[in-house]
Amino acid sequence: MNNAAVSLYELNHLIKNVLADSLPEMFWVRAETSDVRVNQNGHCYLEFIEKDGKGKTLLAKARGMIWANTFYMLKAYFENKTMQPFTSGLKVLVQVSVEFHELYGFSLTVHDIDPSYTLGDQALNRAAIIRQLEEDGVLTLNKELTLPEPLNRIAIISSPTAAGYEDFLDQLNKNTYGFAFYTKLFPAIMQGGRSEDSIISALERIYDNLDCFDAVIIIRGGGATSDLSSFDSYLLAASCAQFPLPIITGIGHERDDTVLDIVAHTRAKTPTAVAEFLINNMVRTAVELDETGQSIVSMVQQRLQTEFALLDVLETKNAFVLKAWRKEQEVLLSSAKTVLQKGLQRIIKDNESRFSQFEETVKRNLQQNRKNSDNKLLLIENALKNTCQHIFKDQLNELDMIEKHLELSSPETILRKGYTLTMKDGKVIKQGNTLEENDEITTIFSDGKVTSVVKKE
C-alpha cells in the first residue's frame, strides 16, 4: 500500500488552499450568461460560458452564483442601466471570486457587474436571426397554417433515447379519453454542433411523406440553456418557418425561448406540455363533432316533423281530390263508352258495304287473272315443246359424231390399219428401254397375237 496516497477530500482541500493562496481575491471576467435561474430564497444560479469566434463551439464553462442580497442590488442596477432583463444569453463583465469547495467543486461567486458590457453573442445572434427572418418575410409563415382536425397523425423529431421523448409518448398514449394517435419518430441529434443538420435532414424525410402527417413535433428535454444554442440557427428556423405542416415545439423548460420556438406554429414549454396540447386539441375536435352531430340530429328530426305534417295535409287534400277525380272519370268513361258503341256500329255498317264491293272486285280480278294465266301457260308449253325438240335433235347429232369418233379411235380399228400392241405381264410397253433381255412379250395384231423373247444385240 502506498502511504503517500491522499483521500479525495484531502486532494480537493489541497486544491482549495492552493487556489486561495495563489489567485487574487477578485477577477473581472468576460463571459456569456447561460441557464440563469433564481431559487425561492432569492439566490441566482447560472453558468458562464465562452464560445469560439463562430459562436457555435463552447470553449469554456463554469458554474456561477450570486447571493440573494447581492443579486437583488445587481439585478436592479443592471436592468435600470441596460433596459433589459438579466437573463441567459447576455454578454457580461462581472467581478468574481474563485471558489473551490471540497464537495461542490469549482464555481465563481459574483460580486459586481458592469452594465456597459451588454448583450452577449447569443442574444445578438438571436436578434440578428429574427430580424433576418422578418426581412425575408417568413417569420410568421408557419403560424399562419391551420391545424388540421383531427390532429392525430404526428411526425416526431427527437432523440430516440431522450427522456422527454418517452414522457411525450407516455402522456399521449395514456390519455384518459382513449384518443388514438399515430406517431412516427424521425430520429435526430438534439444537442451539439451536428444537431442543426440532423434536424433539417429529419424535416426533409418528413417532407417526402407529407400526406401521412397532420403536424410535426420537435421535442427535447430540459438542460442547460447553452445546450439549446443549436435551436437559434437561421437555417433551421427558416426551414421550420416555411415547412408546409404546422410545427409544434417542446424544447427545454418554460424559461427557455429559442428562435425555433418563435417561428413555430405553436410553442409548448415541455414535451409533456406538447402531448397535453395535442390531447386538448382532440378534445375540442371531439366536442365540436359531438355538437355538430347533435345539431344535425335535431335539424333532421325537426325537418321530419315538418314533412310528416305536410304529408298529413296533402294526404287529406289528395283523398278529397281523388274522390272527385274518380267520380269525374266514371262520368267520362260512361259517355266515352256510349260514343264508342255508336261509333263502332257506324263503322261496322260502313265496312260491311265496303267489304261487299271489295268482294265483287276481287272475284272479277281473280277471273281475269286466271284467264290471263291460262293463256301464258299455253304459250310457255308450246315454247318448251319447240325448245326440247331442238335440243333433242342437237344432242342426237352430237352423239352420232362421238360414236363415229370412238369407233375410229378404238384399238380394233387402229390394229386393222396395220399397227400392233406390245404387252408385258398384261401391261402396255410404251418404251423399249423398259425391257430386259429374256423378257417374254406379247405382240397383238388385228387377227391374233404372237409371244416373243427379247434378245439384246
Per-residue pLDDT in tens (0 to 9) along the chain, 457 residues: 566 788 898 888 899 898 888 888 899 999 988 999 999 999 999 999 998 877 778 899 999 999 999 999 999 988 887 666 788 878 889 999 999 988 988 999 999 998 877 555 556 677 888 889 999 999 999 999 999 988 999 999 999 988 889 999 999 999 999 999 999 999 999 887 788 899 999 999 999 999 999 999 999 876 655 567 678 889 999 999 999 999 999 986 655 578 999 999 999 988 999 999 999 999 998 888 888 888 898 888 888 888 888 887 887 777 777 777 778 878 887 777 787 778 777 777 777 777 777 778 878 887 888 888 888 888 888 888 888 888 888 888 888 888 777 777 777 777 777 778 788 887 888 777 777 788 888 888 878 888 888 787 6
Residue 147 DSSP label = P
Identify the pLDDT of residue 26.
Answer: 92
Q: Residue 368 in 3-state DSSP?
A: helix
Q: How far apart are CA 285 and CA 148, in angstroms?
A: 10
Q: Give the residues across from 267 on adjacent strands.
A: 249
* Location of C-alpha cell 456561477: 64
3-class secondary structure per residue, 255-287 = CCCCHHHHHCCEEECCHHHHHHHHHHHHHHHHH
Q: How far apart are CA 78 and CA 70, in angstroms?
A: 12
Identify the pLDDT of residue 2.
Answer: 63
Q: Going by C-beta distance under 8 Å and a sequence separation of 6 or more, which residues neighbour residue 192?
A: 230
Identify the pLDDT of residue 132.
Answer: 92
- For CATH 3.40.50.261, the residue range(s) in the chain are 137-286
Angle between helices 271-409 and 163-173 (to 10 degrees): 80
Q: Is-contact 123 36, C-beta < 8 A?
A: no
The Cα angle at residue 332 between residues 326 and 334, in degrees rounded to 5: 105
Identify the pLDDT of residue 158.
Answer: 94
State pTM to two decimals.
Answer: 0.49
At the top level of CATH, the class of 8-117 is mainly beta
Q: Residue 138 in 3-state DSSP?
A: coil
Q: Is-contact 237 263, C-beta < 8 A?
A: yes
* Location of C-alpha cell 397375237: 449
CATH of domain 137-286: 3.40.50.261
- For CATH 2.40.50.140, the residue range(s) in the chain are 8-117
The Cα angle at residue 186 between residues 181 and 190, in degrees rounded to 5: 115
- Chain-centre distance for alpha carbon 191: 34
Q: Is-contact 56 32, C-beta < 8 A?
A: no
Cα 457 to Cα 247, 434, 437: the distances in Å are 124, 16, 10
C-beta contacts of 60-63 below 8 A and 24+ residues apart: 61/34, 61/226, 62/31, 62/106, 62/107, 62/108, 63/105, 63/106, 63/107, 63/108
